[in-house]
Structure 1
Amino acid sequence: MSETIRKHYHDDVFDAKDFVNTHFSLGTSILEESMGFPTRIIHEMASTGQLKGDKVLDNSMGSIMYQLFSVSNIYKEIYVVQMNDSSFKHFKQWLDNDIKATNWSHSAKRVCHLEGNRQGWKKKEDQVKKVIKGVYKWDNHETNGLDPEVVPQVDCVLSLWILNAISRTKEDFLRNLERFTSRLKLGGQLMLFMALNMTFHKVGHHRYFMLTLDETEVQEFVIKAGFVIEKSSIIKAVEPSDNVDYSHLSFVLARKVKEA
């Protein structure tokens, strides 16, 4: 397939390990943006008492898991949702210590350094695996994507980079945001990381569609989905890459005040 034809993350063949190697491996030009930015923010919130509760639901892109190292210090139960078969399989490989899994030790070491514990990265990985209580495949035929009898209500929803990857239109984006947060308790927190003004990301020779949104639009959709924004931040893209075309990365911390 020509790379000028945009494939779709949720519907087309997707290689999760290739995706991770392209955007999050050591030596990747955008690593300080794609991984460093959310890692620093999540660590800060986890270490300063800004995150509350016992249960967190993670719905992030392409089997990434580095965002779970810091939250595993706070939440006793982590539930992980994957949007396609490749990402589900690849995440399970890491969880099961499969030799085919991605090596995330560079991410674990980064978090340990932030926490002042450079020697504990293997214990950090074990800690995350211990508190992961389930890995689920998103069911696009379910009203809310997840069976409420299987996935409990949670105190926090954490989502990195995925919403504009699976949403073809702005209406889709709002609907998916509402579905992502349907298991979030009233008063619970949403941690949302987004790439802004982006049209594609590249995996191998294929370009995948990304819905283009700016900072104002993202915040407006979060509010429409029943949230009050408590904190936000944004960084400008500074590292050139042929694999992505975002202009900024953004973060929103919001609290759910009403059901969608």
Structure 2
Amino acid sequence: MDCGPKKFYHEHDFDSRDHLETYFSDKPDMEFADDSLKFPMVNFNYTFSSGFVKGDVLIDVSFSSAIHHLYSACDIFKDIIILKVNEKCNMETSRWKDSRTGAFNWKHTSTHATKLEGKSAQVQDKDPQLRTAISHVISCDFENENITHPVVLPFADCITSLWILEAISKDEDDYMRNLEKMSKLLKPGGHLILLGVLNTSYYIVGGEKFHMFGFDESFVKNALRKLGFVIDYYSVQRRKNESKLCDYKASMFITACKTK
């Protein structure tokens, strides 16, 4: 393992496939299943099935090439736009969307999504439905005021974001700037759904140690309130594994409504 300075997900070489295999695969010994697969999918299913988050356009700004949280969303949103700050993750996501050879197999999460919806007895493949709903996979850059510059996107009814803010933010001020830029893509009255980890500092991919900005519950709640969000739903799960590949203490899920 590299013992030098920690790398940044959006600035340095990142092995997207190794990350998926380590943290999101269906391997029997994949120790992160409760935190990286089950916790997100249960909470997203609850949120979208409740009916208070809805609309036509969803923008996803997430870390890595994860798409499993979007199975619940594709039943509601006609247009899902995925933004990626890392080009390798952009290509990995596009490979899955286009059903190209060598794409990561998300079948285990597709099956789980069907079970969460109470349709386990039915033969239903949610992969084609999600692929159809995803209209674009676009590169973005948080150094720009409009992170999708020069592309101008329609305002979203909902933004989903997994782990990206802690992966790209260096400190509290940086987190606030990045959160504000993301929130500008959301229309007033729309919902921001954040999935993150608490009190973290690193994660390891391909033997390389990468930076994670650590914060607690009060920080992220206050950050949202300062930007005009009202929190509708909040859930925390204490870490379920003991791996040394990352050092977070808990997973959090927040649904917040933009009031201005």
TM-score, length of structure 2 as denominator length = 0.95
**Contact 1:59/1:81, CA 8 A, preserved across alignment:** yes
Matches within 5 A, 1:46-195: 46-118=48-120, 119-122=122-125, 124-147=126-149, 150-195=152-197
Equivalent in 198, 202, 205 of residue 204 of structure 2: 202
- Paired with 1:3 and 1:155, the residues of 2 have a C-alpha distance of 43
Deviations 1:124-160 (A, max 9, x none): 1000011111111013443120247532111000001
Letter in 2 for 1:209: H
Partner Cα distance (1:46, 1:195) in 2 = 21
Structure 1 unaligned segments of length 5 or more: list them.
none
Give the secondary-structure state (helix, strand or coil) at the position aligned to 2:72.
helix
Give distance in 2, aligned partners of 1:182 and 1:242.
36
- Residue in 1 that maps onto 2:17: 17
The answer to whether the 8 A contact 2:140-2:149 is kept is no
Using a 3 Å threshold, how does the CA distance of structure 1 residues 105 and 121 change in structure 2: closer, same or farther? farther
Question: Which secondary structure does the structure 2 equivalent of 1:240 belong to?
Answer: coil
Q: Give percent identity, aligned residues only.
A: 34
1:5 — aligned with what?
5
Give the root-mean-square deviation of aligned CA atoms. Answer: 1.4
Q: Which runs of 5+ in 2 are unaligned?
A: none
Whole-angstrom CA distance in 1 between matches of 2:2 and 2:211: 13
CA drift at 1:30:
1.4
Q: 1:141 to 1:245 in 2, by over 3 A?
A: closer
Distance 1:233 1:31 in 2: 17
TM-score where L is the length of structure 1? 0.95
Distance 1:74 1:162 in 2: 23
- Taking the aligned partners of 1:179 and 1:207, their CA distance within structure 2 comes to 27
Q: 3-state DSSP class of the match of 2:95?
A: helix
TM superposition outliers: structure 1 runs of 4+ over 4 Å: none
Judge conservation of contact 2:142–2:181 (CA < 8 Å) in 1.
no
Q: How many residues align?
A: 257
